[in-house]
């Protein structure tokens, strides 16, 4: 099956549908993550990410494999692993995510915009699955305004990240405590006059919705 993916005789969609119908093939797709061929490696990663969104209970027994991918030298595999892990939080009876919370949110200090944005973008899903982590998630996201710029994370990139953070806060704002809500509102108000129009619009929409 992976050979067919490599020579493009099957598509990622074909592979996804095949695994949905034949769950016993899942280990083979997981093996594809370590393929030397980028087409196979990233194809399998995308399929697994999509499967985790629809069938988290099927992927959950393999969560340790995705946690290990957080250390991958291939950033795309790390980004996809972040998404998979967030998807699997809804099935995380063993609290595996809780054990790696600091590691996961430590990526907010990464030098690459896409890495930071992935953590922020997945936060709403994590908070929805694990509402008892909302105070910790909120505290981490509020630190975003203090992250350092890098050659791959400019001031404009930080504005992109702030926009993602406001969208994440919108998902679980109603589950925050009063003190957290006040801090988040203060964070959002700082971006009301942003030079980034979409960030400014997101801030305005958030405040119209939540500020009383």
What are the pLDDT digits (tens) for 138-152?
999 999 989 999 999
Percentage of the chain modeled with pLDDT above 90: 97
Q: Which CATH architecture has domain 1-99?
A: Alpha Horseshoe (1.25)
The model scores a pTM over 0.85? yes
What are φ and ψ of residue 211, in 5° steps? -75, 130
Q: What does the pLDDT read at residue 1?
A: 84
* Rounded Cα distance, 5 and 3, in Å: 5
Residues 30, 19: contact at Cβ < 8 Å?
no
Residue 212 has pLDDT above 80, yes or no: no
What's the rounded mean pLDDT across residues 101-113?
Answer: 97
Residues 138, 183: contact at Cβ < 8 Å?
yes
Q: At what angle do helices 38-54 and 12-21 cross, to 10 degrees?
A: 50
What are the domain boundaries of the chain?
1-99, 101-212
Pick from 200, 205, 207: which is nearest to 186 by CA? 207
Q: What is the mean pLDDT of the chain?
A: 97
Residue 109 has pLDDT above 90, yes or no: yes
- Strand-pairing partners, residue 153, are 150
């Amino acid at each position: 099956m992976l050979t067919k993916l490599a020579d493009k005789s099957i598509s990622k969609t074909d592979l996804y549908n095949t695994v949905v119908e034949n769950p016993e093939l899942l280990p083979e797709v997981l093996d594809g993550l370590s393929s030397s061929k980028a087409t196979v490696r990233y194809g399998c990663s995308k399929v697994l990410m999509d499967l985790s969104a629809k069938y988290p209970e099927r992927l959950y027994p393999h969560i340790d494999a995705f946690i290990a991918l957080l250390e991958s030298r291939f950033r795309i595999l790390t980004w996809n692993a972040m998404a998979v892990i967030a998807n699997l939080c809804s099935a995380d009876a063993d609290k595996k995510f809780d054990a790696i919370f600091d590691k996961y949110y430590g990526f907010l200090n990464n030098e690459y915009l896409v890495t930071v944005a992935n953590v922020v973008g997945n936060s709403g899903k994590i908070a929805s699955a694990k509402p008892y982590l909302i105070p910790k998630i909120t505290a981490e996201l509020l630190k975003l305004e203090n992250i350092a710029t890098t050659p791959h994370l400019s001031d404009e990139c930080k504005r992109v990240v702030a926009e993602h953070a406001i969208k994440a806060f919108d998902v679980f704002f109603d589950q925050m405590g009063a003190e957290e809500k006040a801090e988040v509102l203060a964070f959002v108000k700082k971006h009301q006059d942003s030079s980034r129009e979409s960030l400014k619009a997101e801030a305005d929409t958030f405040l119209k919705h939540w500020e009383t």
